[in-house]
């Protein structure tokens, strides 16, 4: 039998009513939730979202600070700020960053080799922060940007103050340069301070005094439209938009005399080398030249990778700071200091004579240490040995002193350790000793100190290496008879707003006190003899002041016992380095100078005339600038 279901209208009505209540409840709950959320957003969080909405219609534009101006000791501007156009990328408006970078390269606004560097730089910054990548645009670059602007979203053309070095290559290694901030730079600096700033000090005083020169950046909020372009309000500026003015960095007064620096660099006449000139009275560095030099304006603009490689792969190494990082055998320039050590240890007297026949052998050895003058100098005392630069005299003296006493005496004059000048990167050179050799070599056989090694240290050869800065400082110490100062490149910093000056005072070092003070005059007299009748007489001829100096040559490679050095037959880069150290006037020193010409040959013929040009420009009042 088939069953028939009877419809229950009451049950269906009850189910419908229940479902209607549930639906109404759900709708009411959602409405209540939306109302509550609207109240929370529009009332409770009004201030918060007002600020956020302000950010939606306003763009924060950085106001980079003016970098401090750098002056030389005479008040000449040697690093300044000039207005220039630069290109910046704002990542949050750039869309596809890779496409934008590709277009920049295609339009000639970015070298293909620099795309990776700029990408890393942009990604290292916050998305709303404009990142400069091409500085100091020329007219052609501005025109190319104008033509393709609509294809470069997020690429902005801005007017900024750019670093400019009016003297170009002159003094570049001392002043240093600013360059585009790298990803590595961002890891070591306070990012907030560099908001909107595209450059940072890389070398020289620009880097050493970065914190003082930088200043503090500011910002301003600018109304923008949907395309991100600034707009103006009909009623005038929006009072809710904020502005914080930047603070300029401190101005700097250096010890460098830029015109004297120019004289020194021109005197090199295209040769490689370096020169340092120090005021013995306070340690001021008046000349700090490493040659060949480079133009720091290229780095301030934003140097391309190809140009940078051209500099770094140049065999003349224009970026290498020969004054701070170049270490060379000091050669015969240290003979006056060796003589002073002999007097102080009382192993020799000024009148003691040595017969020089052109070679010297240690007792029990057949090895001959040769003099630079093959036939020898005949009979010489200390004064004549310094004046004629007799190697045999100093071979004997070194053997008598012994390496430990030589090391101790020269260490007191500053060799084997950095001078402590106020820029980074200085090397200390090597002042050899048996203890040093044990740390420098790995095997027991190599660590043995031999008497022959002491002999050649006596003429500034062997393991002994020094920087030009060390030689200049030691020469200044001789000139003042034991008083000396830490070399400095910066005299003072000045607040451009208030004019308040912060001095960087001279730092006197512990004086070198002799057991017999009269020994100073013995050595100075011998150095004056070098320039009046000795190896540097030609370079000093006709000077209106007295010069105390010492010439030197430093071997680049060793010569065998039976070989003869012939400069004309040796490759140019294997020839001896030419050196000269001097101070003047001898009786009232105003300047101490150390000159090195790489592969220049004889110090008397090549290095001494450069020092003479510097002395003339500084000491003779009517000398041309």
Question: Which residue numbers are catalytic?
Answer: 332
What stretch of H or E contains 172? helix 172-175
Which residue, 593, 578, 503, 539, is CA-closest to 257? 593
Which residue, 606, 597, 607, 598, is CA-closest to 574? 598
Q: What is the chain's alpha carbon radius of gyration, rounded to the nearest angstrom?
A: 36
Which ranges in 231-301 belong to alpha helices (H)?
A: 258-267, 296-301
The answer to whether residues 89 and 240 touch, using CB atoms and an 8 Å cutoff, is no
Bridge partners of 603, per DSSP, are: none
Q: Residues of 275-286 as b/e, b for ≥16 C-beta within 10 angstroms?
A: bbbbbbebbbbb
Tokens 């340069």 — which residue? 177
Q: CA-CA distance, 192 to 75, in Å (whole number)?
A: 32
Structure-token pair, residue 474:
């030691």
DSSP string, 182-221: PHHHHHHS-GGGGTT--EEE-SHHHHHTHHHHH-B-EEEE
Which residue, 125, 268, 255, 147, is CA-closest to 198? 125
What stretch of H or E contains 142? helix 139-148
- Phi and psi of 287, rounded to 5°? -130, 130
Crossing angle of helices 335-344/518-532, nearest 10°?
Answer: 150
Fill in the DSSP letter of residue 91: G
Which ranges in 209-355 belong to alpha helices (H)?
A: 210-214, 258-267, 296-301, 305-312, 335-344
The answer to whether residues 145 and 109 touch, using CB atoms and an 8 Å cutoff, is yes
Mode of pairing for the β-strands spanning 251-254 and 70-71: parallel
Report angle CA 235, 236, 239 to the nearest 5 degrees: 105
In this structure, the dihedral spanned by the alpha carbons of residues 447, 449, 453 and 457, taken in order and rounded to 10 degrees, is: 90
Q: CA-CA distance, 519 to 517, in Å (whole number)?
A: 5
Q: CA-CA distance, 312 to 404, in Å (whole number)?
A: 40
DSSP string, 463-483: T-BB-HHHHHHHHHHHHTTS-
Structure-token pair, residue 114:
């620099």
Residue 595 has a CB neighbour count (10 Å cut-off) of 37
């Amino acid at each position: 039998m088939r069953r028939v279901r009877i419809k229950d209208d009451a049950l269906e009505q009850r189910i419908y009513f229940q479902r209607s209540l549930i639906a109404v409840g759900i709708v009411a709950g959602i409405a209540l939730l939306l109302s509550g959320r609207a109240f929370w957003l529009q009332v409770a969080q009004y201030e918060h979202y007002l600020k956020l909405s302000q950010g939606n219609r306003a763009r924060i534009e950085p106001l980079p600070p003016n970098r401090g101006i750098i002056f030389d000791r005479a008040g000449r501007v040697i690093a300044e700020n000039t207005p220039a156009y630069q290109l910046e990328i704002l990542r949050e408006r750039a869309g596809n960053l890779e496409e934008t970078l590709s277009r920049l390269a295609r339009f000639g606004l970015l070298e293909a080799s620099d795309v990776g560097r700029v990408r890393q730089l942009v990604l290292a910054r916050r998305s709303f922060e404009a990142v400069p990548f091409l500085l100091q645009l020329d007219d052609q670059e501005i025109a190319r940007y104008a033509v393709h602007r609509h294809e470069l979203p997020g690429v902005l053309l801005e007017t900024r103050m750019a670093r400019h070095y009016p003297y170009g290559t002159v003094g570049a290694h001392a002043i240093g340069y600013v360059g585009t901030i790298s990803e590595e730079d961002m890891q070591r600096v306070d990012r907030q301070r560099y908001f909107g700033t595209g450059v940072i000090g890389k070398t020289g005083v620009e880097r050493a005094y970065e914190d003082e020169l930088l200043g503090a950046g500011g910002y301003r909020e600018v109304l923008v439209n949907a395309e991100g372009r600034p707009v103006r309000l009909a009623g005038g500026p929006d009072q809710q938009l904020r502005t914080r003015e930047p603070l300029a960095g401190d101005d700097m007064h250096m010890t460098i005399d830029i015109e004297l620096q120019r004289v020194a660099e021109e005197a090199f006449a295209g040769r490689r080398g370096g020169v340092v000139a120090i005021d013995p009275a306070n340690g001021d560095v008046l000349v700090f030249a490493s040659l060949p030099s480079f133009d720091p304006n290229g780095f301030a603009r934003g140097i391309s990778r190809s140009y940078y490689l051209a500099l770094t792969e140049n065999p003349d190494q224009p970026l290498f700071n020969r004054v701070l990082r170049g270490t060379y055998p000091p050669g015969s320039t240290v003979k006056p200091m060796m003589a002073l050590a002999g007097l102080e240890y009382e192993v020799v007297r000024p009148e003691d004579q040595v017969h020089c026949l052109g070679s010297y052998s240690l007792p029990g050895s057949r090895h001959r240490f040769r003099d630079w003058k093959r036939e020898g100098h005949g009979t010489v005392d200390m004064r004549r040995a310094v004046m004629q630069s007799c190697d045999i005299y100093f071979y004997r003296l070194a053997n008598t002193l012994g390496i430990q006493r030589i090391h101790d005496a020269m260490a007191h004059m500053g060799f084997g350790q950095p001078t402590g000048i106020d820029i980074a990167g200085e090397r200390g050179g090597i002042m050899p000793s048996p203890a040093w050799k044990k740390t420098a070599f790995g095997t027991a056989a190599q660590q043995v100190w031999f008497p022959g090694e002491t002999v050649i240290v006596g003429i500034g050869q062997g393991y002994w290496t020094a920087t030009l800065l060390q030689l200049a400082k030691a020469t200044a110490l001789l000139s003042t008879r034991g008083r000396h100062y830490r070399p400095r490149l910066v005299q003072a910093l000045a607040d451009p707003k208030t004019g308040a000056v912060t001095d960087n005072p001279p730092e006197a070092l512990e004086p070198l006190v002799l057991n017999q003070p009269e020994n100073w005059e013995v050595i100075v007299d011998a150095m004056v003899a070098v320039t009046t009748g000795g190896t540097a007489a030609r370079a000093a001829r006709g000077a209106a002041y007295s010069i105390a100096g010492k010439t030197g040559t430093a071997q680049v490679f060793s010569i065998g016992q039976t070989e003869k050095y012939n400069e004309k037959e040796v490759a140019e880069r294997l020839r001896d380095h030419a050196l000269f150290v001097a101070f003047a006037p001898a009786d009232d020193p105003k300047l101490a100078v150390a000159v090195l010409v790489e592969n220049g040959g004889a110090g008397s013929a090549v290095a001494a005339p450069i020092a003479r040009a510097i002395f003339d420009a500084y000491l003779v009042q009517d000398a041309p600038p």
